[in-house]
Structure formats: structure tokens, C-alpha cells
Amino acid sequence: MRRLPAFAGQLGVLSQSLQMLMWRGHVHPLREDAGANTEQAGKLSRWIERQGLAVQVVAECGTAVHVP
């Protein structure tokens, strides 16, 4: 997500945004030894789609990537 124009050079804003998403239950930190939570990844994917964001969830990695 830090490659998105809104967060370029704004790691503090990215951190705050991720914290707010965690507080609302939209994203969850993933431990390296934990498997992907497909239910939560699906919820996040649907939220991202509704928001029109140019990112795609990569549940296996516990992250999202920019989609040009």
C-alpha cells in the first residue's frame, strides 16, 4: 500500500490508516506461522472493491498489492 500515490513518502499516514482499518476490523495482522483467514480476506477484498481502490488482496501473504 505504501506505493499508492496517497501514501508515497507518507509512512506515518499509512501507519495511521492501517491502524484505523484494524480498529474497525477490516484488516488484521498476520503472523508468519499462521495461515490466511479466507473469510477476513474476502471481507477486505469486498471493502476494497466498494471503495474503488486500485489494490488487490494477497491473502497468502497477509497483504495487498497495487493494481495498475
User: Whole-model pTM?
Assistant: 0.45
Residue 51 C-beta-side C-alpha neighbours within 13 Å: 11
Walk along the chain (68 residues) and give the pLDDT tens digit of each residue: 777 888 888 888 888 988 898 888 787 776 666 666 778 878 888 998 899 988 888 766 666 666 66
Residues linked to residue 63 through DSSP beta bridges, in sequence order: 58
- Which pLDDT does position 50 carry in this prediction? 93
Give the number of domains in the chain: 1
Q: Please give the angle made by the CA atoms of 17, 8 and 58, to the nearest 5 degrees.
A: 60
* Domain that residue 40 falls in: 5-66
Residue appearing with cell numbers 474476502? 42
